[in-house]
Structures are given as C-alpha cells and as structure tokens.
Amino acid sequence: MEASYLRGEAMTVLDQEAIRDVLPHRDPILMLETATINEEGQEVAATATPIQIPEVTPFSLRLNSWDTIENRVNAQQYVNGDEPGFSGHFPQPIGPILPGVQQLKLAAILSRYCLKSSDEDYSKKLRLEQIKGFNFTRMVVPGDVLKMNAEKADDWYETNASVDGQLAFKGRLQLASVETDEPTISLELLVEAMAQLVAVVGLSQPENRGKTPLFASIRSMHFVRDIPVGEELLLEAMPIKQIRTLGFAKVGARSLEDPDTYIANGEIAFAVQ
C-alpha cells in the first residue's frame, strides 16, 4: 500500500503506511493507525485518533527469580529475545531492543510484589497512578540479565535495574486500586502509544528523518482512572523543547466519549540517533 500524506497549509495527516515510513516500530508493538501533525508558527502538535490499546501486552513478563525482604524486592530477568514483540522493536539491523514499555511493566510488577512482604492486601488489583523521573539509561538487548530492585517508601515505589553493573532504568511509581471488575488495558501500553506519537513528531522533522528514536525518560505521568478494553482514545503530543539530540514533549490522552477530560497527561523525553 502506498503511504498517504495529506498536507494542508499547517497540517499533515499520516496513515499507518506513512507512519511506518517514519517509525522503525512494527507489529505487534506499533499502535498508531493515523497521526495528524499541526504546525502553527514555531509550535508543533500532533494527535492520533481513534486508537484502541490492546488488552494484553505482546511481551512475556515472567520474572526468572525474585525474593522479598521487608518492603524491598530483588529480582532477576533474563532477556532471551524470544517474545514476539521483539520482532517489532526494532527490525534488524537496528534491533532487537527491549522496549521501554516492557521495562516499565517489570518495574510495576516488582512494586506490587513489595506488598507480599507488607501488611497490605496483595490480592487486590492495582494499576499505575503516577510515574516520576523514570529514566532509561542503557539499551537492553537479548542476552542481557536485568538485576532489578523495588522498595516502598511512603506512597511511592523506588525502582531500578542494572545490566553488568550499568544502570538500565530508574524511577518512581505510585499505584492505585482498580475500581472496576471489567477488563482494563495495561496503562504501560498507553505510555508506549503516546511515546510513539512523540517520535512521529520528532522524526517527521527534516533534520531527523531516517534516525532511530530511543525512549529516554518519563519525566512525569498521571493516570486519572482505569481504561476499559475497547474504549477509543484521542492521543496528543506537543514538543516543548530540544537539547541537542534530546527532545521533550507534553502528552495526554482523552476518551472520545468525553473529549473535554484528560485520562492521562504528563511529560516524556526522547533521544534520536
């Protein structure tokens, strides 16, 4: 299928083939069907609609080993590269690379495991509520062994992981109880979808065409509520500054049923190389 770019005076609409021309992501990790880029003077913003986040993450999330000590969890994960999602993140010769969404999910699992060594009810269903200063500092590839830690400190979970003594990720998470019995999507996948939209904006700029986007940081993210499976979302991204190869953007997600209210909003950073 031929890629479709619809250009107006200050707007470009990309279908999925055009998005594939820009992003190295492929199925099953590619989540954007269309993207609209609006340029007003020096400001650039993008939206993606409608979008449905898949119910199940396309990656295996089993920990090879873990143990708990008081409010702290230590775990180990061997990255074997056999998970189907690796084929889409990214195709050779760039990849495969363990996606940031997988690392974030592992951190969330570790945070929940902290409850096994506390007086809280481990059986309750939890979701992400806030993310702060979650930085990806090293590419993780098949064959790596992630040594991970999570520790509860007040209402936050401090998480980190390293490979061969080098820090791979570090960040703070806050969890909340799921308020519905209906199936809900993984909010980590929503973060991935918003990150892909930011990458579309950055790589659509002439100076960045053909480069590889690397998820650098979730500076902050707030999730207001659970998102039922099948709910259609409007995603938004607005770049706010760029420092050398690092770009920062505000992101948000709203329901098409209630477009005046944000379900999630925050700020992320991307690097290009």
What confidence category does residue 82 fall into, taking pLDDT thresholds of 50, 70 and 90? confident
168 and 246 assigned to the same domain: no
14 and 95 assigned to the same domain: no
Whether 166 maps to a domain, the answer reads yes
Q: Which residue range forms the structural domain that includes residue 169? A: 65-177
| Tally of domains within the chain | 2
What's the mean pLDDT in 238-254? 89
11 and 87 assigned to the same domain: no
20 and 123 assigned to the same domain: no
Instruction: Write the CB contacts of 101 (distance below 8 Å, at least 6 apart in sequence).
Output: 29, 57, 59, 188, 189, 191, 192, 195
pLDDT score, position 119: 57
pLDDT score, position 85: 64
What interhelical angle do 100-113 and 187-203 show, nearest 10? 150
Residue closest to 174 by CA, chosen among 241, 247, 223: 223
Whether 272 maps to a domain, the answer reads no
95 and 134 assigned to the same domain: yes
169 and 235 assigned to the same domain: no
165 and 200 assigned to the same domain: no
69 and 12 assigned to the same domain: no
Whether 182 maps to a domain, the answer reads no
The answer to whether 167 and 195 are in contact (CB under 8 A) is no
42 and 88 assigned to the same domain: no
pLDDT score, position 163: 97
pLDDT score, position 1: 35
pLDDT in tens, 222-234: 999 998 888 888 8
Residue 250's H or E segment, with its range, is: strand 246-255
Evaluate the CA torsion angle 100, 239, 267, 54 in order and state its sign. negative
The answer to whether 158 and 172 are in contact (CB under 8 A) is yes
CATH number of the domain bearing residue 19: 3.10.129.10
CA dist 267 and 221 (Å) reads 6
Whether 218 maps to a domain, the answer reads no
pLDDT in tens, 126-163: 899 999 999 999 999 999 999 999 999 888 999 999 99
Burial state string for 51-70 with b = 16 or more CB within 10 A and e = fewer than 16: bebeeebbbeeebeebebee
Whether 219 maps to a domain, the answer reads no
What's the mean pLDDT in 26-32? 85
152 and 203 assigned to the same domain: no
Whether 185 maps to a domain, the answer reads no
CA dist 246 and 272 (Å) reads 7
CA dist 91 and 42 (Å) reads 33
pLDDT in tens, 92-126: 777 889 889 889 999 998 898 887 666 566 667 88
**Mean of the per-residue pLDDT values of the chain:** 84
13 and 98 assigned to the same domain: no
Residue closest to 120 by CA, chosen among 95, 167, 155: 155
141 and 77 assigned to the same domain: yes
Whether 37 maps to a domain, the answer reads yes
pLDDT in tens, 157-199: 999 999 999 999 999 999 998 888 888 888 998 999 999 999 9
